[in-house]
Structure 1
């Protein structure tokens, strides 16, 4: 079960009682938002607990440590990414027979999951971490294999696909959407990256003043 972000970017918590599995999903969703905004070193389990509307003790009881919580959030982000990609891949092909456009659209659509792209981006900066580093490398390689083997892209096409994805992740992390409309270069960049879904992207991207 998922919750929509509240006005401060944190997930809204309903008044009804959640099962432990639902609470876990809720906490991982909050962890994506918090880790995405703060990074692994900057985030705390207390912030995640407050974003999820539970106690820090409960978070620690479920996950044991911030490291485990980050691994759970990263794993959830990778799972969502690949499920979304495979769902896009299963759709009928365009007249030109290309598949990368549909998968790229799925990547853009995941911007609506607050913190997903940025949690993965933070994970890819933790290569020196003894536990997170190997998991992040494995996840990165898994996405590369998907692009090469399941999408069937050549090496150069796969590299370009990854490069555009990293550009979008950078734009999300910079919260550069605040400059759209006022900075001609940034406006041009947004219109180039999101030619058909710009209104939706502008609506769901995190703003500089939002907590998460």
Structure 2
């Protein structure tokens, strides 16, 4: 094992499982920033602080890595949604709890943007199929576990895509420069706006 196989600041050996999670976390950011077509395994390796051949040995191809990243992002989303299902006893409506859970994913760098990148890759024969199935899995959750009516599902998914677009175009990073943009963000993110700005706003550190 060479020093380039270790992340910056790491002095000991990582287990294969930890190394895998390290690469997936880095790849989530890289794919979120550059999309599937624009990202490279070399960029992922640099972001993870390891060698590019190691990434290839572990995941095989960029396509397989992207699919794992996409499925991991979907899994994280559904996990947050399921955690928000139990009634907290405060009278908060379910749509609001699920919306807050979706926004809270800003604490997982790159997840929102990776999902958005996947959902606009429908023309790719492999990724497109996986993205469609992933989106339908969100629909199934809302229908079968959250017990939303069709109109609720449509409204909720539309709201989620609005949030994804605002994060995808990095509108929070411009907060304070445009009254209209600020108004849109406040309306969309609501009481979660401050948390979003802390993570993705003008003073937030780029990952």
TM-score (norm 1): 0.88
Aligned counterpart for 2:16 among listed residues 16, 20, 38: 20
Q: State the partner residue of 2:32.
A: 36
Matches of 1:120 and 1:68 in 2, distance apart?
A: 15
Pairing 1:125–2:125 present:
no
Tell me the C-alpha RMSD between the 2 structures: 2.1
2:73 is aligned with 1:74? no
C-alpha displacement of 1:112: 1.5
Mark the runs of 5 or more structure 1 residues left unpaired by the alignment.
Answer: 1-10
Runs of 4+ in 1 over 4 A off after TM superposition: 206-212
Note the C-alpha offset of 1:95.
Answer: 2.2
**1:162 counterpart residue number:** 157
More helix by share: 2
Of the candidates 163, 167, 172, which is equivalent to residue 172 of structure 1? 167
Q: Secondary structure at the match of 1:153?
A: coil
Q: Is residue 122 of structure 2 the alignment partner of residue 111 of structure 1? A: no
Equivalent-residue separation in structure 1 for 2:202 and 2:8 (angstroms): 18
Q: Which has the higher contact order (CA 8 A, sep 6+)?
A: 1
Deviation string, structure 1 residues 46-102 (Cα, Å, up to 9, x no partner): 000111111100000000000000001001001101011001112425426x31111
Query: What is the rounded CA distance, in whole Å, between the counterparts of 1:171 and 1:188 in structure 2?
Result: 12
Q: Within 1, Cα distance between the matches of 2:162 and 2:9?
A: 32
Specify the SS of the correspondent of 2:187: helix
Q: Deviations over 1:111-158 (max 9, x none)?
A: 121110111111111112121111111110000111111111111111
- Taking a change above 3 Å as real, the CA distance of residues 36 and 12 of structure 1, as seen in their structure-2 partners, is farther
Aligned mates of 1:132, 1:13 — CA distance in 2: 34
Aligned residues: 201
